Structure 1
Amino acid sequence: MPLLLRALKYARAGPYSAVGVLLGVLILLSGGTWRSWRGTLEFGGGGFGRLVSRMPQPLRFSAMTLGHVILGVDTAALADLRPHEHVHVRQYERWGPLFLPAYLLSSLVQLLRGRNPYRENHFERQAFALAPARRAMQRDPGRG
């Protein structure tokens, strides 16, 4: 990918990535770990993971993405959900600063329709649909 195009994608997702890095530092300070993986930073575990795991169901999550930063409850969740979360990274690159408002609006629309605001969210449906293909490509890089 041309360097300029890659830089533009990182810049579009940059504000959310900055928030993710700040949260990542808090995860590290709580005993968590980090690693770099294919253009993203992953933070997880520690007190953050324990806190999120105890949250009530509507707020609990195993991993979430902010720009090019993925936050997870532990390294196993990060590894398992990596293909799904990388779809969200591409969505941040495509939508830029509009991603989070569009994501929240999609959830609100589904909630008002009486549907599951997470599972029926347009962006989540796309991530669930594309993640199996990405997982297969990770196992066999020659595919796709």
Structure 2
Amino acid sequence: MLGMLWTSPVTALGLIAGVFAIPFGARPRLRRDDLALVFQHWPWGPGGAITLGNVVLHTGEDLDSPCYTYAHDAGHRTEPPIKLADHERAHVYQYMVLGPLFLPLYLLCGGISVRNRFERAADRYAQTGRGWWPWSK
């Protein structure tokens, strides 16, 4: 509960964005296991998902869809697909610890990139179920 409260300013931004997208086809779905409200069929962006606090904006049909890790997509190594839901759940956990500090730290670590420790940790968590913290090994 404290983590949700701590990240509530960012969650509010996600809620505003999600509610704004409903007339354009977005559909909210509560995913208790992911501790998130997911807006599926998010109508904008290149595809995939973005997490804002306890809200996930997802362009696809189902957050449980397979996707590749950042390292795989960058050609660093060949890895089997992961579930997008697991990757985004790691970001929810990261937000619940870091709250409003998540976004500036995420950007300082490289933004949407294979070099970003937040993305590597989310991929690690999606692969193994462990290691969602960006500064763990």
TM-score w.r.t. length of structure 1: 0.70
Higher helix share: 1
1:44 and 2:40 aligned: yes
- With normalisation by structure 2, the TM-score equals 0.74
Structure 1 residue 102 and structure 2 residue 105: aligned? yes
Whole-angstrom distance in 1 between the partners of 2:15 and 2:118: 22
User: Is residue 129 of structure 1 aligned with residue 124 of structure 2?
Assistant: yes
CA-to-aligned-CA distance 1:15-42 (integer Å, 9 cap, x gap): 1100000011012121221100022100
- Aligned residues: CA RMSD: 1.5
Q: Distance in 1 between matches of 2:26 and 2:106?
A: 27
- Superposition pairs for residues 24-103 of structure 1, below 5 Å? 24-38=18-32, 39-45=35-41, 48-49=42-43, 51-52=44-45, 60-76=46-62, 78-80=63-65, 81-103=84-106
Count of residues in Structure 1 that have an aligned counterpart in Structure 2 = 109
State the partner residue of 2:115: 120
Structure 1 unaligned segments of length 5 or more: list them: 1-6, 53-59, 109-116, 135-144
User: Contact conserved, 1:27 with 1:44, CA < 8 A, in 2?
Assistant: no
Q: Does 1:20 align with 2:14?
A: yes
